[in-house]
Amino acid sequence: MEENKKTGKQIILHIVLLAAIILIAVISIYRLYEWNKGTPLDADTEDVDPSQFDIETLDMIIPMDASLLEGREDDGETTILCLGNNPFADDHGNTGLAAMIASKTNATVYDCSFPDSSAACKYPIYNPQYTKDHFNFYYVVECFRNNEFTAISSIANDEADPRYAESVEVMKTVDMDKVDIIVIMYDSTDYNMGTPSDNPDNPYDVTAFTGGLRTTINNIKSTWPYIRVFVMSPTYAQYMDEDGELHNGTITDLGNGTLNHYLVKEADAVMDCGVSFVDNYYGTINEDNYQEYMKDHMRYNEAGREKLAERIADIINNKMGTVSSTTSK
């Protein structure tokens, strides 16, 4: 009899516990449901600008090793050399990107960009049948390294577009001993042309986007180790096909990856070289705001150039630094 009472009490206790568990579960589900419905905000959010919130970027600003500046006389003037393609070359005047950088940094700026040129070369060895390779990143820097402008000048003079010859004339006036900073920016041209983003078997293949960058940046560093290098990435852009249809670069793979795939590969290559990377794809002109800053699927209007100039000028003015490569004993 006593055993039956004990068993009955255990059953009741189990039922009570089960009921409590079910009640807790019901309350939790109800609260989760109410939370998922959300609570209406009292504030008016129609005028909230999403650009005011922080966006994760791939920026990597590398301070200069102070030992590389030893023995270099400071002339009291900041001199910047701009290399790249259309972001600079679309306007060589007062409303151009180079002029805006000069204004915002109070620096002397040389614009040696070439329209529609690319970071990669078309051929691994110079092919005289394709003279436009001379305007691509690798060969432009080789002209500076060798202080030889005869060939590029002759080729530029044969171009109908006067901007080629204008840039060569500027190149001839640059004293690389006085250059403090090189700013490099190539837009989505390499992606649009179907240039391979990289060559896994040869990271220094100049016919690949990252190979052209990696090889040329290392050449800059070995020749002028005291120069700070900033690589500005392409911004968001679209691809225009043969029928004039536009395609979102973020999701359109032309055979070698999407445009943001090129961005990631570029960031990796630049960081491998130990120079600074400025992510314009997420940090400056992106898929949310491009209509305000671009005049077509890949080129910038004056407001776009202004925004790009503000981005790099802020880094040059406020975020450059030096570090010592030696440690005290």
The one-character DSSP state at 255 is: S
Which band of pLDDT confidence, cut at 50, 70 and 90, is reported for residue 192? very high
Q: What is the pLDDT of residues 56-107, one digit of tens each?
A: 789 999 999 999 998 888 899 999 999 999 999 999 999 999 999 999 999 9
Report whether pLDDT(312) > 70.
yes
The pLDDT of residue 73 is 85
Domain borders along the chain are 76-315
CA 15 to CA 25: how far, in whole Å?
15
| Average pLDDT score, the chain | 88
Task: Give per-residue pLDDT as tens, 274-288.
Answer: 999 999 999 999 999
Q: What is the DSSP string of 151-218?
A: HHHHHHHTSSSHHHHHHHHHHHH--TTT--EEEEE--THHHHTT--S--TT-TT-TTSHHHHHHHHHH
Beta-bridge partner residues of 109? 80
Q: According to the model, what pLDDT value does residue 40 have?
A: 40
What are the tens digits of pLDDT across the range 228-282? 999 999 999 999 999 999 999 999 999 999 999 999 999 999 999 999 999 999 9
For 76-315, CATH gives 3.40.50.1110
